[in-house]
Amino acid sequence: MGYIANGVERSAAYVAPRPNSQLALFQALPVSRYSNNDETVIRKAFVMSLKPGADSEYERRHNPIWPELSAVLTAHGVRAYSIFLHAQTRQLFAFAEIQDEARWEAIAETEVCQRWWAHMRELMAVNEDNSPESVPLREVFRLD
């Protein structure tokens, strides 16, 4: 079911994740699409959570992320990716702009992504495969 917002067609598509799957983080996200200079951009947002006392170490490990992880994200069509911390609840709000659903989902299959998840597992709530537990968010407002 789609809708029009600010003159842009948006999709409220939702793909249910496979339980405890490394693809769950990538597949379980509502989709918001818009066109930018003849290029479709897909916006994704989700929430993850940190374990108590892990916020400083989480931030340290992300500044900077591994160059090979950055390269994989870029090669798979990630145009922008931000993570914000709500310190009182230890919730992480992640936002990504991607070019293609299949390429986004393929990130989970890469060796570097799986190493990154293993590297971060002690700091976060994770699934059996070390992928972060995540809750998808649906875009309800956008101002361009």
Centre a 10 Å sphere on the Cβ of residue 58 and count the other Cβ atoms it contains. 19
From 62, 76, 86, 119, active-site residue: 62
In angstroms, the Cα distances linking 75 to 34, 41, 63, 70, 137 are 20, 15, 20, 9, 25
62 is catalytic: yes
Q: Quick one: CA dihedral 143, 134, 107, 120, positive or negative?
A: positive
Residues with catalytic function:
62
